[in-house]
Structure formats: C-alpha cells, structure tokens
C-alpha cells in the first residue's frame, strides 16, 4: 500500500520548509510520468482516482469514518456525496480535452494547446474530508498536474485514508503514487502556509481565513466564498414541490454544505400555505419563545456551538430544550424580521435551522435576498421557487450573485447536477463580490495553462466610419 505521509515529530530540528519542499519536488518528479501521456492515459488516471472512492464499500467506509472523525453530518448523505459528486465530476472530466490540441479556431487563426499548471496545493475542509480531496485530485491530474492536499485537522484521518486509496489506485495502473500527496501530521498554519508559498497553484475550499491567506501568499490562487443561501418562495410556486425540495436540500448531510438553504423568504399572499407545506415536508415551526432557545443553543459566546452544528435534529432539539414532538422533525423553522449583526439567524448556521422571512410581494422578497447577500454569502447563490420565469430573470439581472437556481434543491444543484448545466464540483467560486478570482464552479479549466498558436488571418480592420460614425453623429467630431 502506497502509504503517505509520515508524521513530523514535535522537534525543534524539524525543518517544515524543507519537508514541504521535498513534497513539491516529489510532485514535480511524478508529473514527468504524464509529460508524454495521451488523453486516454490521463483519463485512465482520473478514472482510477474516481474509482478509489466511488466503489460502494469505500464510499461507505469513508462516510462512516468522516462522521466519526469530525462529528458532523450523517453517513447516508456522505455516501451519496462520495459517489454522486465523484461520478458527476468524472462525467465532466472524461468529456473534456486537456492534452495537446484542445481547440482549433480557424476564424481567429488560433490553435490552442493545454499545458499543466504544476504542483497544486489543495486546502480541504472538515465538512467533506473524503469527497473534496478526490474532487480536487481528479481535476488536477486531468491537467497532468500533481496535487498536495492540506487536510483539515478535524478530518485528517478520513483524508489520510482517502489519499492512500488514491495513491494505491495510481500505482495499480502503473503511475507514481506521488501524483497525489498530503501534508503530514500535525497539519498547522505554518505548514499550510509553506505549501501555499511553494506550490504553483493554490486551490482553497473551506475557511475564509485560509482563502485570504492563499490570495496573499504570492502564489496564483483560487479561493471560494462563504455560503448563506437565501431562497424565495414566490406567489406562483408549486408549494408542496418547493417544500419537498427545500427539505431534502436542507437536511442533506445535516446542512454541512455551503449550498444548504439558510433562509426562505415567502411572499405574503402564500405565506400561510407555504408554511403548511413546509410542515408537511417535515419542518417544525418554532414559537417566539422557542426561537430564543434556538438562538441560545446555536451560539455560545458569539460562536457557533460545535455541539449542535451539523448534528441530527433530535440532538439540536434536546440542546435547545424543544418539546418532545420537535425531536421527530426533520428541520426547524424560525421566523425572523431583520438582517445583520443584531439578527444572528440571518447568517449561515451549518445546522438544521431554517430562517423564515415574510415579504409583502416579489419586490420586497427580492430586496430581502439582496440584503441577506450583502450581509453574508455575497456572490454565492440564491434560489427562487416560481412558475414565472420573468421573476427569475429579474433576480439574475439585478442581484450580485453567481448562481440563481429556479425550482431546484440547492444542495443538489449548486455544485453540479445531472439536470442542470453546472459543472460538478465541491468548490463554488463567488466572484469579486466575495473576493474570489472566479465566478463559476471550480472545474478542469482552472488546472491547465493554454498556449495559443497564432497564424495570420484576412485583415479584420473596420473603417473609422464604422467605429466612430454613430458617436460623431450624436456628439460631433
């Protein structure tokens, strides 16, 4: 078994800089095995990485270990995440060209060649300690790169087993295991910082502190923004369908996903009927008194309570002191009226708590979504349940957000779906609104450089009249 890495002992003589340097060098050496590889061979490598986690016994084993390792989420959801995300990503990658000539644009005289970006430093979160490392490794190797994973300390055991499975899979098909490596324990800020500074590209999912450090590391970086998904239920929505989708999305992996709905804003004319539909779907509507109990349970000294976030509903109900009937609910609805620091329920909660707002009409609901974005989760995503596509188009035109999902369950749609056009990923770029360098789902294109071969084309030089005529006519020369 291609086991890696060995622990770094707590010893003053240990040189973290040199150790990371060695890992980077190992990656560069391993990349040589793909220098002359054709697309078929690269696709074999990507498929091997996918199969290392997709096979049913592995998907379950790593899901069980992740819940044990982190204390977050639930096994059944993580099995789905390990398999569905991996399968969808494999679909996208197998269809893409990343070796040699990837495009011929005769009209512009270009022939485009894909080249590796180098050794990728991949920072991964505790919420997905198996799925995210594989997802990033597949994309990196698709570009003929090597990857070094910096695991979250909370999910280290899961990520280590995942990485070793990937390394075995590479060796099984005759490729060097060091195409996929990870930082050795104990992973700390100093070591992660060294990886950011020494690798060729940093890709960060998770802590916004890590995202900011990556962008200031001096290395080209891709970081993704925080989530706080806000969804509207409009007047023309199919209420039961909307409620079922919101419930399925909200409860998936106990709301560990950044794409999990954090709030719903309901137009007043359908408010009561929508709440009834949400209750039929499994939601428990908290009273005003229980609302405060939820807040007190969720936040301790201003920070989210690790004893209730991403935990099963009965755990949250017990800690919050909710009645016995609440323990059988799937999620908890809490009404709110404001947004901002004085209204903690307006922020991301990583729990089975769904904030509920009432709006007078569509315009009021749109403004609520905008205010929620501006407070937390800028650029990430919003959703609308409506049979009026004009309303969805208006949200997309007016809100500073990368993704607007229409009549979809966010957790299953934002990061790629078999029924929408988003690329499968576990890392959602949120644009400059969130301080990100990309405004799309992380995908293989971010892991290749492109060489442009240019040949001459027939002259494409318009006349001055074509360029300035309308301007001259309106304003004069």
- Region of residue 111 (left: phi > 0; alpha: psi -120 to 50; beta: else): beta
Indicate which residues carry an active-site annotation.
258
Name the maximum alpha-carbon separation found in the chain: 79
Q: In whole angstroms, give the CA distance from residue 102 to residue 376.
A: 39
Domain 16-224+442-452 coded CATH 3.40.605.10: yes
Contacting residues for 160 by C-beta, under 8 A, at least 6 apart:
151, 182
Q: Which tokens is 101 given?
A: 């000539």
pLDDT at 207: 87
Q: Across the strands, what pairs with 126?
A: none
pLDDT at residue number 2: 72
What does the pLDDT profile of the chain (477 residues) look like in tens digits?
677 766 555 453 468 999 999 999 999 999 999 999 999 999 999 999 999 999 999 999 999 999 999 999 999 999 999 999 999 999 999 999 999 999 999 999 999 999 999 999 999 999 999 999 999 999 999 999 999 999 999 999 999 999 999 999 999 999 999 999 999 998 899 999 999 999 999 999 988 999 999 999 999 999 998 999 999 999 999 999 999 999 999 999 999 999 999 999 999 999 999 999 999 999 999 999 999 999 999 999 989 999 999 999 999 999 999 999 999 999 999 999 999 999 999 999 999 999 999 999 999 999 999 999 999 999 999 999 999 999 999 999 999 999 999 999 999 999 999 999 999 999 999 999 999 999 999 999 999 999 999 999 999 999 999 999 999 999 999
Residue carrying the six token digits 């509920």: 356
H-assigned helices in 219-329: 239-251, 271-280, 288-298, 313-320
Q: What is the pLDDT of residue 10?
A: 47
Specify the pLDDT at position 127: 92
Domain ranges of the chain: 16-224+442-452, 229-411
Q: What tokens does 160 get? A: 């280590």
Q: What tokens appear for 307 in the block?
A: 């004893």
The per-residue pLDDT for 12 is 37
What gap in Å lies between CA 436 and CA 316, rounded to an integer?
A: 33
pLDDT at 187: 86
Burial of 157 (0-12, 13-18, 19+ CB in 10 A): middle
CA pair distance 253, 233, nearest whole angstrom: 23
> Do residues 249 and 214 lie in contact, with contact meaning Cβ atoms separated by under 8 Å?
no
Measured in degrees and rounded to the nearest 5, phi and psi for residue 376 equal: -155, 140
Q: Which CATH number is 229-411 given? A: 3.40.309.10
This prediction has a pTM of 0.94
CA 78 and chain centroid, separation: 15
Q: What is the pLDDT of residue 121?
A: 98
pLDDT of residue 8: 54
């Amino acid at each position: 078994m291609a086991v890696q890495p060995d622990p770094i002992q707590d010893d003053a003589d240990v040189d973290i800089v040199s150790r990371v340097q060695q890992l980077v060098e190992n990656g560069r050496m391993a990349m040589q095995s793909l220098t002359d590889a054709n697309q078929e061979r690269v696709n074999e490598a990507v498929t091997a990485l996918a199969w290392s986690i997709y096979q049913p016994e592995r998907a379950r084993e790593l899901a069980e270990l992740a819940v044990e390792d982190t204390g977050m989420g639930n096994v059944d959801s993580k099995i789905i995440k390990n398999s569905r995300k991996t399968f969808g990503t494999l679909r996208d990658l197998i269809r893409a060209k990343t070796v040699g000539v990837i495009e011929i644009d005769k009209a512009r005289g270009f022939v485009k060649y894909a080249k590796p970006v180098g050794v990728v430093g991949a920072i991964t979160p505790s919420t997905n300690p198996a799925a995210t490392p594989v997802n990033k490794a597949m994309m990196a190797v698709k570009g003929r790169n090597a990857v070094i994973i910096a695991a979250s300390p909370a999910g280290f055991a899961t990520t280590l087993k995942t990485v070793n499975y990937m390394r075995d899979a590479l060796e099984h098909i005759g490729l060097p295991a060091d195409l996929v490596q990870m930082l050795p324990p104990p992973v700390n800020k100093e070591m992660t910082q060294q990886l950011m500074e020494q690798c060729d590209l940093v890709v960060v999912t998770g802590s916004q502190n890590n995202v900011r450090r990556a962008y200031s590391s001096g290395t080209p970086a891709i970081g993704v923004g925080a989530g706080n998904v806000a969804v509207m239920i409009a007047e023309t929505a199919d209420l039961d369908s909307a409620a079922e989708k919101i419930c399925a999305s909200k409860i998936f992996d106990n709301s560990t996903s950044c794409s999990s709905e954090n709030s719903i804003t309901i137009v007043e004319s359908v408010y009561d009927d929508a709440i009834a539909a949400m209750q039929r779907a499994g939601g428990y509507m908290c009273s005003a008194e229980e609302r405060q109990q939820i807040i007190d349970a969720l936040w301790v000294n201003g920070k989210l309570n690790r004893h209730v976030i991403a935990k099963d509903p009965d755990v949250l109900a017990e800690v919050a002191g909710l009645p016995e009937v609440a323990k059988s609910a799937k999620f908890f609805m809490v009404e709110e009226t404001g947004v901002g620091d004085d209204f903690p329920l307006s922020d991301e909660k990583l729990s089975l708590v769904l904030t509920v707002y009432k709006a007078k009409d569509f315009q009021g609901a749109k403004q609520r979504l905008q205010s929620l974005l501006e407070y937390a989760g800028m650029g990430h995503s919003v959703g609308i349940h409506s049979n009026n596509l004009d309303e969805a188009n208006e949200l997309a035109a007016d809100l500073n957000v990368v993704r607007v999902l229409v009549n979809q369950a966010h957790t299953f749609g934002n990061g790629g779906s078999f029924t929408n056009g988003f690329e499968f990923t576990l890392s959602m770029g949120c644009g400059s609104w969130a301080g990100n360098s990309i405004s799309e789902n992380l995908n293989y294109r971010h892991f290749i450089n492109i060489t442009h071969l240019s040949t001459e084309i027939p002259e494409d030089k318009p006349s001055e009249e074509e360029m300035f005529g309308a301007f001259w006519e309106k304003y004069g020369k």
